[in-house]
């Protein structure tokens, strides 16, 4: 996984693998740490310290204009090397962590979701997008689903090793089940619920391309990603009166605060709210 001329010490990759980090996290950490090392190309990795980290952060913020979430990822990748590979004590160097911006997730209306799903005519592609929206799945969770993870009797979907390596159960849609059965009869997957052309796990990048194509065919101008279907799942449930504690469980959030962000998006009930200005007596 390391590039041939990479400055990243092999111990860095070995520690990531030993601690069972996910393949996506490993790839991200390697890429970000490589950029940190390249910024100080003439200095050996073990000679880098907190002053170099501070200088690199200034570069990221002032020149690269990275988001706070990206900056945090860089910091975590660097901390992993200092603490887990070199064995430095936690807090050996002091990094001023950026304040995370409060940004609302991009959400689609029910009409927009219908337009996207109706634009897909390939049976496998349609089944995948239906599952993402109807069960609130992450892309990585969908492509890891095995055939046995669908419980049509209890109308449940078992998500194995989701984010944070947590298992959870979410709901199975009746309409999605109808399409899934039709898909299963046609494609006959052997292990994973959705497999690539040559078998094995369907690729994350291919799934995202399916969504982008659907957006284009639906002629939607709203800038959204595949993950917006998961955000829409949560928001639409909230608008239908589902208790936020249930939504938290379905999404697999550790904290209710993470789920509560959807309360900032829904406009349900706004029609009953009257501006205080409308209660004032104003001169004509």
Residue 204, burial from CB neighbour count under 10 angstroms (0-12, 13-18, 19+):
middle
Question: What are the distances in angstroms from CA 269 to CA 13, 25, 124, 204, 263?
Answer: 51, 40, 37, 37, 12
Which residue of the set 74, 81, 183, 262 is catalytic?
262
Which residue of the set 88, 168, 208, 227 is catalytic?
227
Residues 6+ apart with CB under 8 A from 88: 82
Which residue of the set 29, 74, 81, 138 is catalytic?
138
Which residue of the set 126, 230, 231, 236 is catalytic?
230
Told to judge if 10 belongs to the known catalytic residues of this protein, a careful annotator would answer: no
Which residue of the set 7, 163, 168, 208 is catalytic?
163
Told to judge if 124 belongs to the known catalytic residues of this protein, a careful annotator would answer: no
Told to judge if 246 belongs to the known catalytic residues of this protein, a careful annotator would answer: no
Q: Are 66 and 60 in contact (CB under 8 A)?
A: yes
Which residue of the set 125, 231, 236, 253 is catalytic?
253
Q: What residue has token string 């880098």?
A: 48
Told to judge if 146 belongs to the known catalytic residues of this protein, a careful annotator would answer: no
Told to judge if 186 belongs to the known catalytic residues of this protein, a careful annotator would answer: no
Told to judge if 227 belongs to the known catalytic residues of this protein, a careful annotator would answer: yes
Point out the residues that are catalytic: 138, 163, 227, 230, 253, 262
């Amino acid at each position: 996984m390391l590039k041939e001329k990479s400055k990243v010490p092999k111990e860095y990759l070995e520690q990531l693998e030993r601690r069972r980090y996910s393949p996506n996290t490993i790839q991200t950490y390697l890429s970000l740490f490589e950029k940190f090392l390249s910024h100080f190309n003439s200095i050996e990795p073990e000679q880098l310290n907190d002053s170099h980290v501070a200088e690199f952060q200034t570069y990221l913020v002032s020149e690269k204009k990275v988001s706070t979430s990206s900056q945090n990822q860089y910091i975590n990748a660097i901390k992993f090397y200092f603490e887990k590979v070199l064995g430095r004590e936690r807090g050996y160097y002091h990094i001023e962590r950026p304040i995370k911006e409060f940004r609302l997730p991009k959400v689609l209306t029910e009409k927009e979701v219908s337009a996207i799903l109706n634009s897909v005519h390939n049976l496998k592609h349609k089944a995948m997008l239906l599952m993402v929206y109807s069960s609130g799945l992450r892309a990585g969770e969908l492509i890891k689903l095995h055939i046995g993870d669908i419980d049509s009797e209890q109308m449940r979907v078992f998500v194995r090793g989701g984010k944070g390596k947590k298992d959870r159960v979410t709901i199975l849609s009746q309409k999605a089940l109808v399409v899934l059965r039709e898909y299963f009869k046609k494609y006959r997957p052997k292990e994973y619920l959705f497999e690539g052309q040559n078998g094995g796990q369907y690729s994350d990048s291919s799934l995202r391309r399916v969504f982008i194509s659907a957006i284009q065919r639906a002629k939607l101008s709203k800038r959204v990603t595949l993950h917006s279907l998961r955000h829409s799942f949560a928001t639409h449930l909230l608008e239908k009166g589902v208790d936020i504690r249930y939504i938290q469980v379905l999404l697999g959030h550790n904290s209710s605060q993470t789920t509560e962000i959807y309360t900032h998006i829904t406009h349900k009930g706004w029609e009953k709210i009257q501006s205080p200005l409308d209660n004032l007596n104003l001169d004509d």
